[in-house]
A = this chain, B = another copy of it.
Amino acid sequence: MVATSALSLKTVPALAQSDPLPSWNEGASKSSITNFVARVTTQGGPDFVPPDQRIATFDNDGTLWVEQPMYVQFAFILDRINLLAPQNPSWKTKQPFKAVLEGDMKALAASGEKGLVELMAVTHAGMTVDEFGKIVTDWLSTARDPRFKKPYTELVYQPMLEVLAYLRANGFKTFIVSGGGIEFMRPWTEKVYGIPPEQVVGSSIKTRFEMRDGQPRLFRLPEVNFIDDKVGKPVGINQHIGRRPIAAFGNSDGDLQMLQWATMRGSGAHLGLIVHHTDAEREYAYDRKSHVGKLDLALDAAAVNKWTVADMKNDWKRVFSFG
């Protein structure tokens, strides 16, 4: 009996049992993550980083969850416009609302940034912060992705969830740094990613504090406060975190400056990783010519700066938890 037990224990593959990244195939991408973590956590090693400085930042759209065929927040806008249309009869004849109601994506695109600002104003402003959070939560509980027929919060990348958990288990503080709306993410990031609201950085509109009926409230205004994209990402990181990350994860040119900020430093271990969407079968395949999540400059920069390019098709055993 004793001998058999010992044998059983030996035959269990120890590595597989303790593998912190089971959805990643063995290879250079996976090794770059585990090697980096080993270096910065080895006490007395040349690259040791104290836990309080282990800051890792993650883009959201296309890095942690699906961004095709359109950003989830854009699907939210379209749904809200349709839902609010009966109370706004003038929208039937007024762009860009008419385009949304008729599903005319060409006319919608033609309305440009001005059109988008108008859509944002009526869907994202004019309510309190609490009310907006509830609207987002309610919408996510019923909305379904058109291709996968799943709630959007299930279209998160299992390999990236494992990276988040692995980093946190090694003393990292994980942050989202997204071009998406900060208040659009906060209602669900803790449950889905284990990232609390205070560790979410994103684009925002202005809010106004006021007393209404003897109660304080924060009212959302139709005015841009901050765009957390491209050169805005290091600015947002500094404003919210006040420290330079040593690891950054992105998937598009919007993440280029965040990756530069995290990795182009005089000394010390660092990790830059780009999720490359190469898997049209299990998810989507797109990069240099995509309208959503264009990856061009950052892909060139990855080669120069030795950032890891995670090839979704070859590096990921599975894409989603439901795979």
Residue numbers of A with Cβ under 8 A of B are: 52, 55, 129, 173, 182-183, 186, 190, 196-200, 204, 206-211, 214-216, 218, 225, 231-235, 238-243, 257, 260-261, 264, 266
Determine the distance from Cα of A233 to Cα of B216 in the docked complex, in whole angstroms. 12
A-B contact pairs, 27 of them (CB 8 A): A52-B190, A52-B196, A129-B238, A182-B239, A183-B242, A186-B242, A197-B241, A198-B198, A198-B241, A198-B242, A198-B243, A206-B235, A207-B235, A207-B238, A207-B239, A209-B233, A209-B257, A209-B261, A211-B260, A214-B264, A216-B234, A216-B264, A218-B235, A218-B238, A218-B261, A225-B239, A240-B240
Number of copies: 2
For residue A305, give the distance in angstroms from its CB to the closest CB of chain B: 11
Residue of B nearest to A260 (CB): B216
Q: Are A216 and B52 in contact (CB under 8 A)?
A: no
Contacts of A257 in B (CB 8 A): 209, 216
**A209/B231 contact (C-beta < 8 A), A216-B261, A218-B238 known:** yes
Q: Are A240 and B198 in contact (CB under 8 A)?
A: yes
Contacts of A210 in B (CB 8 A): 231
Q: Are A198 and B173 in contact (CB under 8 A)?
A: yes
Determine the distance from Cα of A97 to Cα of B129 in the docked complex, in whole angstroms. 43
Q: Are A209 and B197 in contact (CB under 8 A)?
A: no
Contacts of A241 in B (CB 8 A): 197-198
Residue of B nearest to A264 (CB): B216
Q: A183-B242, A207-B235 are in contact. List 16 more A-B contacts (CB 8 A).
A: A129-B238, A173-B198, A182-B239, A197-B242, A197-B243, A198-B241, A198-B242, A207-B239, A208-B235, A209-B257, A216-B234, A216-B261, A216-B264, A218-B234, A218-B261, A240-B240
